[in-house]
Amino acid sequence: MSGLTVVVLAVSEDGFQVVLSLAEIDPEFGHCAALPATRYNREVLSRPTLVMPGDLRASRYVRGPAGR
C-alpha cells in the first residue's frame, strides 16, 4: 500500500508537466491507463506521446516526453 503514494512527473520537450500517481493507474484503485503512443490512426507520430485514454479532454497528454 505504501507504494500508492508514489507520483511520477512527466515532462515534455517544451516543458509541459503532468503528475500521475500510482494509485490512479493501479487496477485495484483508479484503474486509469497511462500509455506511451507512437502511432495515431495507424500513422507514425513525429514524437512519442504519453496518453491517458480515460481523460475526456486529453489535457494530460505529454507530447515528446523528455528523457531524464
pLDDT at 4 over 80: no
- pLDDT of res. 23: 84
Q: What is the pTM of this model?
A: 0.69
Report the pLDDT averaged over residues 12-21: 88
pLDDT at 51 over 70: yes
**Strands of the 43-51 sheet, one edge to the other:** 35-40, 43-51, 62-63
Q: What is the 3-state secondary structure (H, E, C) of 27-66?
A: CCCCCCCCEEEEEECCEEEEEEEEECCCCCCCCCCEECEC
- pLDDT of res. 27: 81
pLDDT at 68 over 70: no
